[in-house]
Amino acid sequence: MNDWIKPYVKAHKGLLILTILFGVGALIAACALLFTSGYLISKSSLRPENILLVYVPIVLVRAFGISRPVLNYLQQLASHSFVLAVLSKMRVRLFQRLETQALVLKERYAIGDLLGLLADDLEHLQNFYLKTIFPALFALILYGIAIIALGVFSIPYALLLALLFGILVFVLPYVALKRNRQHMLDMKIVRAELYNDLTDAVMGATDWKLSGRADQMIAGKQQIAARYDRLEAKIEASSRRRSIVFQVVAAASVILLVMFGSDMAQTAVFHPMWIAAFVLVALPLLEAFMPISDAISHFPSYDTSFARLMEVEGRSEDAQPCTTLPTGPYTVDISNVAFQYDNRTVLRDVSMTWHPRQKVAILGKTGTGKSTLGKLLLGAYKPTAGTVTINGVHMHTLRHDTSQLIAVLEQKPYLFDTTIMNNIRLGNVSASDAEVIEAAKKVQLHEMIETLPHGYDTRVEELGTRFSGGERQRIALARILLQQTPIVLLDEPTVGLDPVTEQELIHTIFEVLSNKTVVWITHHLAAMAHMDTIYMLENGRVRVKGSHEQLLADDARYRKLYDLDYPFD
Ligand SMILES: Nc1ncnc2c1ncn2[C@@H]1O[C@H](COP(=O)(O)OP(=O)(O)OP(=O)(O)O)[C@@H](O)[C@H]1O
């Protein structure tokens, strides 16, 4: 937690000091306003012969009346500037940590968890300062000043007031923290469950509807929401009970100050005129103490927010990043690689070397570790044993530079809800319109785009639903052409396409990628004739390797698979 607070507090010390000065200043001005007002009322009630006799308190009331809101405003300005500056740095830090895990994000976090992290935890931390730390700090400083000020007149009264105010400043917040700790933690868990459940429900809404169980899904959500409401009601009830105790102690403090005033007046320490002044000061003091208990009771939820942020940090790649990108031509070397997920070995002793412009297929049935090998190539994971290098540089040390060397075409490329032009330009944001059109022509999309109502400025709706599978792959392929990487990784890019569209796409892919290294991950043999080397994986090992013709001739298993895919060849 310290790690997510200390550096920011240090970096914005100036704003923090200003916040404290203005905040305490505003509260002192509020006390002084009521003090001088009390004096002014008492003095005026004695009918001073001349207005000049109360001239000074009148000016002071005006001065404090104006300075209080001004200082309050300045305090808000400084505290919000501090919080916004800190939050923006925290946000950048969180995004940077998530970015290093981008390729494995979906496997590591549920989408609801991520939303909770970004929307809830981070935003929530602004309350940590604005609603908890600052008010508690101001109240504490004011508590000290009030007791010292009273101690100047009477030590016993100061001690008694220290005791009463102590209940408000220390005991009630402590009780609130103790009693609400579990409720707050439960609330955080239920809220995370709600986020998770809702994202899951939205993603799977079609399936709920089609299975005729939409009502059941809604009832499930209502149950979680009801649990959340019950927890909120419990916290609310304990806040009400604390409020009653607060009012009783506050009343006792006012009575104590009345007694103090009259005692002082009787022993002629000061004139009875000052009694009202001392009593009225209690009001802004009590107002400052009021929000502390509620604020402190939220501490456990900040704790969990910090814990989740630290967990993300702990999971981010800890390897030393490579500082210089290797220069081409590029050879990829996979040497004796093994990989485990949670102690379960999915790749064993895998070795391959891919030369520049080589066309390579990683073939194997579902679950043999093909995609895992792809992720090792992209540097998303560090191998458990062995190395994956490009011109001698370990892939997992390349981090975001990987995208300069390897482009990826997946089964379902994501199309963003913007124009086709922008969607293609994603491959290289500095590409001109002419370069985008050139790429679209190469992947044979240009004519289709020209027929759309706004041509290249036609918007791709969310998830790209207006395009067919083949068209989406071509848009993604055009992106890859603009990205200009020497290596392209294709992970089942033609799955789900009809055989004619598939063959047309394969033809385009090999035509436009002829001068690049192509790594094709698949369980199906459609593109094998274009490959220089095919590696057949089985149970995480390379069972056999060779060209399409060699394997057809020498490997019965390969031949059988080919016959299943293409029975009439
Ligand atoms: N993040 C993960 N955590 C734990 N196990 C995983 C993870 N990702 C994959 N696995 C497991 O590792 C094995 C290999 O998975 P991988 O996705 O690499 O196989 P694949 O050959 O690409 O399969 P497919 O063709 O179905 O995509 C599978 O048994 C899978 O369940």
Question: What pLDDT shows up at residue 69?
Answer: 96
In the prediction, which pLDDT does 327 show? 85
pLDDT digits (tens, 9 = 90+) for 542-562: 999 999 999 999 999 899 888
User: Which of 106-110, 417-421, 490-494 has the least mean pLDDT?
Assistant: 106-110
Q: What pLDDT score does 253 carry? A: 94
**What pLDDT digit, counting tens, does each position of 299-309 carry?**
888 887 888 78
> What is the average per-residue pLDDT within 324-332?
86
pLDDT-based confidence at 472, cuts 50/70/90? confident
Give distance in angstroms: CA of 180 to centre of ligand 1: 43
Among residues 376, 374, 380, which one has the least CA distance to residue 389?
Answer: 376
Q: Which residue has the tokens 């709920």?
A: 208
Q: Tell me: pLDDT of 567 over 60.
A: no
- Cα of 558 from ligand 1 centre, angstroms: 22
pLDDT at 462 (0 to 100): 55
| Closest by CA position to 385, among listed 332, 425, 334 | 334
Pocket residues for ligand 1 (CB within 6 Å)? 107, 341-342, 346, 364, 366-372, 523
| Average pLDDT score over residue span 422-428 | 90
Average pLDDT rounded to a whole number, residues 453-477 = 81
Q: What is the pLDDT at residue 404?
A: 87
Least confident of 157-161, 398-402, 506-510: 398-402
For the residues 382-387, what does the mean pLDDT come to? 94
Instruction: Please tell me the predicted confidence (pLDDT) of residue 336.
Output: 95
- DSSP lists the bridge partners of residue 394 as 389
**Distance from C-alpha of 317 to C-alpha of 441, rounded to nearest angstrom:** 39
Distance CA 339, CA 428 (A): 33
Query: CB atoms < 10 A from the CB of 204, how many?
Result: 12
Using the mean position of ligand 1's atoms as its centre, give its distance from the Cα of residue 346 in Å: 8
Long-range contacts of range 307-313, CB-CB < 8 Å, 24 or more positions apart? 307/1, 308/116, 308/117, 308/121, 309/4, 309/90, 309/94, 309/117, 309/121, 309/122, 310/1, 310/3, 310/4, 312/94, 312/97, 312/98, 312/101, 312/117, 313/3, 313/97
Residue nearest to atom 28 of ligand 1 (CA): 367
Pairing of strands 385-390, 332-341: antiparallel
Contact between residue 257 and residue 147 where contact means Cβ atoms under 8 Å apart: no
Minimum CA distance residue for ligand 1 atom 31: 367
**From the CA atom positions of the chain, what is the Rg in Å?**
35
Q: pLDDT value at position 271? A: 83
Where are the domains positioned within the chain? 2-315, 332-565
Distance of alpha carbon 155 from alpha carbon 153, whole angstroms: 7
Whether the pLDDT of residue 188 is over 90: the answer is no
Closest atom of ligand 1 to CA, residue 375: 18
Question: Which residue's CA lies nearest to atom 7 of ligand 1?
Answer: 341
Residue 254: CB atoms within 10 Å: 16
Q: Provide the 10 A C-beta neighbour count for residue 208.
A: 18
pLDDT band at 465 (very low <50, low <70, confident <90, very high): low
Residues 6+ apart with CB under 8 A from 263: 154, 157
Mutate to test the pocket of ligand 1, among 109, 340, 370, 489 (most ligand atoms within 8 A of CB): 370
53-63 pLDDT, tens digit each? 788 989 999 99
How far is it, in rounded angstroms, from Cα 243 to Cα 163? 18
DSSP string, 453-516: TTGGGPBPPGGGTTS-HHHHHHHHHHHHHHHT-SEEEEESTTTTS-HHHHHHHHHHHHHHTTTS
Give the Å distance between the CA of 2 and the centre of ligand 1: 37
List pLDDT tens digits, range 345-382. 999 999 999 999 999 999 998 889 999 999 999 888 88
Separation of 368 CA from ligand 1 center, angstroms? 7
Q: Determine which residue's CA is closest to atom 25 belonging to ligand 1.
A: 366
Fold held by 332-565: Rossmann fold (3.40.50)
Maximum pairwise Cα distance, the chain: 121
Torsion over CA of 193, 195, 196 and 202, rounded to 10 degrees? 140
Q: What is 2-315's CATH topology? A: ABC transporter transmembrane region fold (1.20.1560)
Query: Which pLDDT band, with edges at 50, 70 and 90, does 464 fall under?
Result: low
Main-chain dihedrals φ then ψ at residue 334, nearest 5 degrees: -110, 115
pLDDT at 311: 80
pLDDT in tens, 8-57: 888 999 999 999 999 999 999 999 999 999 999 988 888 877 777 788 98
Query: Ligand 1 centroid vs 211 CA: distance in angstroms?
Result: 28
pLDDT at position 305 is 80
**DSSP letters for 138-178:** HHHHHHHHHHHHHHHH-HHHHHHHHHHHHIIIIIHHHHHHH
pLDDT at 316: 64
Residue 319 pLDDT level (bands cut at 50, 70, 90) = low
What is the pLDDT at residue 356? 95
Does the pLDDT at position 568 exceed 60? no
Which has the minimum average pLDDT: 189-193, 281-285, 397-401, 543-547?
397-401
Residue 174 pLDDT exceeds 90: yes
244 or 87, higher pLDDT: 244
| pLDDT band at 205; cut points 50, 70, 90 | confident
Percent of the chain clearing pLDDT 90 (strictly above): 47
Degrees, nearest 5: CA angle 106-183-219: 60
The residue contributing the CA closest to ligand 1 atom 17 is: 371
pLDDT at 320: 63
- Which of 346, 362, 377, 541 gets mutated to test ligand 1 (max ligand atoms within 8 A of its CB)? 346
Q: Is 386 left (phi over 0), alpha (psi -120 to 50) or beta?
A: left
Average pLDDT, the chain: 88
Task: Return the best residue to mutate from 371, 377, 378 for the ligand 1 pocket (most ligand atoms within 8 A of CB).
Answer: 371
The residue contributing the CA closest to ligand 1 atom 1 is: 107
Strands (E), 297-384: 332-341, 344-354, 359-363
pLDDT score recorded for residue 99: 75
Nearest to 190 by CA among 133, 112, 111, 252: 112
Mean pLDDT on 481-498: 88
